[in-house]
Amino acid sequence: MPQTTFLAAPFVSPQSLQRFATFRGSLPPSIQIWIEHQARIEAQQPVHNVAFMRATIRQRFATSRLGNATIDALLAVLIQQVLQSANNEGGLSQTSQLGVRTQLSNYNQMEQILSNLLKSLDDTQSSVIQNMKG
């Protein structure tokens, strides 16, 4: 499996990115393969629908009864893989100039969503740690 370079997300601490990388690396191979497959499918879409991607994850792992934080973490991994897939294909290419602008806008939106998810996961973890310290 190729090593993934994580895109630098604004407003996300290096520690948060490291936890994200650790989480992603700890996923079983079957989940990593599924995420790569879904990312290739999603990368072909003209518009990326995050709610649909979240629903797809919930449906795929329905029997696992994953919590919202885990769903969000898997969504962050999927989004990151979609962005990586787009980069590996030589960028977001479309034949029309309007298509390129639309894809670039979607790309930037996906980066922002990834950043927000990572920040949210970081905040949740910090809150849990604070509550445990009492």
Q: How far apart, in whole angstroms, are the C-alpha atoms of residue 47 and residue 60?
A: 21
Asked, for residue 41, whether it belongs to a domain, the answer is: yes
pLDDT tens for 81-95 read 887 776 666 554 444
Asked, for residue 20, whether it belongs to a domain, the answer is: yes
Asked, for residue 4, whether it belongs to a domain, the answer is: no
Q: What angle do CA 8, 124, 30 make, to 5 degrees?
A: 65
Domain around 66: 14-127
Asked, for residue 6, whether it belongs to a domain, the answer is: no
Asked, for residue 49, whether it belongs to a domain, the answer is: yes
Q: How many domains does the chain have?
A: 1
**Nearest CA among 128, 133, 124, 108 for reference residue 71:** 124
Asked, for residue 134, whether it belongs to a domain, the answer is: no
pLDDT band of residue 12 (cuts 50, 70, 90) is low
3-class DSSP assignment, residue 51: helix
> Which whole-number Å values give the CA distances from 25 to 28, 101, 131, in the listed order?
8, 33, 27
Q: What is the pLDDT at residue 88?
A: 66
Q: What is the pLDDT at residue 107?
A: 63
Asked, for residue 132, whether it belongs to a domain, the answer is: no
Q: What is the pLDDT at residue 4?
A: 38
**Nearest CA among 24, 28, 74, 31 for reference residue 54:** 74
pLDDT tens for 44-98 read 777 778 889 889 999 999 888 888 888 888 888 888 888 777 666 655 444 434 4
